[in-house]
Amino acid sequence: MALDDERKLAASVPEPLLQLEKEVGDLVARGAASIPPYPAVALRVQKAMSRPHFGLDEVAHLVGADAALAADVLRCANSSMYRRGSAVTSLTQAITRIGATQVMRLLLASGLASHANVPGPLAKLRRLIWIEGLASAAICQELARQRGLRHEEAFALGLLHDFGRVVACGTLEALLARRPVAGAWPEEAWTGVVDRLHVPVGLAMASRWQLGPLVTEVIGGHHAGPAARCEDPGLLDVVRVSDQVVFLLSSLPGLSNDDLEAIPSLTRFVEREVVARVLRKVPEFVEAFELAATANGATSPISQPGTTLSSGERPVRFGVSVGHAGRTQQFTAVAIAPNGLAATGTEPLPENRLQEATLHAPQGPLRIWTLTRLTRPDRGGYHVELHPYALSGVERGLWDQLVSGEAKAS
């Protein structure tokens, strides 16, 4: 980093965060960063598959030894991402449907989920990073398949290329546990720290896990310019496209063809159709890896914003039903904006978690996936802000009508 860039960074980042960032950088340089172990079951299945004449029953036995992993595989096999025909009820059926190689990728995802979803001071940030990682993996897999590339490797690349952000959060949390900082800073400030750290931390992770040259090159080059070296430039481009799609997902309720057309590498309509199709399946895919929400006893150094809603907010009043923890919670919508709605209720919702919601609007019920971006106590109850996530064409149109107030009751 040039000296002028270092001065600008020092001026823009709060001193405690800047100090933490420097300490993590030093830990990475010394090979002492807090890097979790590679998921054990995924490693055992990988070794089994490397032997000649391995059988699906052997893979099913290894997976079935961990009830949580087995449940994840079954849910994935029955999700819209992989569902074909009737539901599967056994691991052998699931592995036959998905394929042993893809099951190994899903085991990797399930193992990584346990690191991404643990309680901690930066749990809110890790949750969002993890959702983006699963979305990227799904996009990479289907876009690579469309382009005739190694789609199963693309899934792993999408999952792993930014996982250094989760590991960076863990390293920051380890430092905070030894030396807590006074005060709290906006999510954007913490995200900036994590984003600047995630490539060197990711490279350290790739080395510790012995992920091989392709993964290492993609981790190191997915933010670099055209000169970045990679043994498979096509897969590197797929990862870069997924990053741009995921970025748009964070700011828009759904992506239209025009939104996707703005991405330079998505010039072909058929590819935009593939991406749009997989985005409709992402929320259910993410749900397949969800762990039960646990109380986060750690004090968060992430300050809450006054609101996460964009400009153009207007008052509304209608019921909202949100599915959470196997039951339905009831809220009342009080405001709506292009990127989300605010509601009040008697119970909280976990932040940065995808959940299905039904909006009981005057124009008729609208069922959508939402991401809870804010929860705070409010007048004896709770104020929550829900952002629509990956709306399809019809849902996006209905949402836009609801936001504008132009739709009429039928």
The pLDDT confidence band at residue 292, using thresholds 50, 70 and 90, is low
Instruction: Choose among 159, 98, 102: nearest CA to 131.
Output: 159
Q: pTM for this one?
A: 0.90
What's the mean pLDDT in 12-19?
89
For 259-294, b/e burial (b = at least 16 CB within 10 A) is bbeebeebeeeebbebbbebbbbbbbbbbbbeeeee
At 4 the pLDDT is 52
Mean pLDDT of 48-61: 81
Name the class of domain 1-26+121-303. mainly alpha
* Nearest CA among 162, 65, 59, 132 for reference residue 102: 59
Place of tokens 């830990």: 27
Q: Please report the pLDDT score of residue 62 as a whole number.
A: 85
pLDDT band per the 50, 70, 90 thresholds, residue 115: confident
Instruction: Check pLDDT > 70 for residue 1.
Output: no
Domain boundaries in the chain? Answer: 1-26+121-303, 33-116, 308-404
Q: Which of 364, 56, 116, 396 is nearest to 256 (CA)?
A: 396
Q: Quickly state the pLDDT bin for 54 (edges 50, 70, 90).
A: confident
Residue 34 has pLDDT above 60, yes or no: yes
Highest mean pLDDT among 83-97, 195-209, 220-234 belongs to 195-209
How far is the CA of 295 from the CAs of 178, 186, 299, 368, in angstroms? 21, 21, 11, 26
Judged against a pLDDT cut of 60, whether residue 11 lies above it is answered with: no
Instruction: Determine the topology of domain 308-404 in CATH.
Output: Thrombin, subunit H (2.40.10)
Concatenating the DSSP letter of every residue in 264-319 gives TT--SHHHHHHHHHHHHHHHHHHHHTPPPP----SPP-EEPPS----S--EEEEEE
pLDDT of 410: 38
Query: Does 296 or 137 have the greater pLDDT score?
Result: 137
Span of 25-29, 92-96, 364-368, 384-388 with lowest mean pLDDT? 92-96
Higher pLDDT, 54 or 94: 94
The alpha helices in 86-232, defined as continuous H runs, are: 91-98, 100-116, 123-146, 151-160, 164-178, 187-209, 213-221
- Judge whether residue 362 has pLDDT over 80: yes
Instruction: List the beta bridge partners of residue 345.
Output: 331, 382
Do the domains 1-26+121-303 and 308-404 sit in the same CATH topology, yes or no?
A: no
The residue-averaged pLDDT of 319-347 equals 94
Model confidence at 3, in pLDDT bands (50, 70, 90)? very low
Roughly what angle, to the nearest 10 degrees, separates helices 123-146 and 233-249?
130
Picking from 131-135, 243-247, 302-306, 360-364, which range would have the lowest pLDDT averaged per residue? 360-364
Taking residues 58-84, report their average pLDDT. Answer: 84
Q: What is the pLDDT of residue 297?
A: 59
Give the separation between CA 357 and CA 19, rounded to whole angstroms.
Answer: 41
- Pair 368, 359: CB distance under 8 Å: yes
The larger pLDDT score, comparing residue 94 to residue 241, is at 241
Q: Per-residue pLDDT for 409 more than 50?
A: no
Q: What is the pLDDT of residue 366?
A: 95
Helix 100-116 vs helix 164-178: angle between axes, to the nearest 10 degrees?
A: 30
Residue 20 has pLDDT above 50, yes or no: yes
pLDDT at 383: 98
Supply the mean pLDDT for the chain. 89
Confidence of residue 294 (pLDDT cuts 50, 70, 90): low
Selected residue with higher pLDDT from 298 and 171: 171
Higher pLDDT: 216 or 46? It is 216
What's the confidence (pLDDT) of residue 248? 94
Give the H or E element holding residue 386.
strand 381-388
**What is the average per-residue pLDDT within 252-281?**
93
* Residues above pLDDT 90, as percent of the chain: 60
DSSP at 38 = P
Q: Residue 394 has what pLDDT?
A: 87
The lowest-confidence range among 53-57, 305-309, 379-383 is 53-57
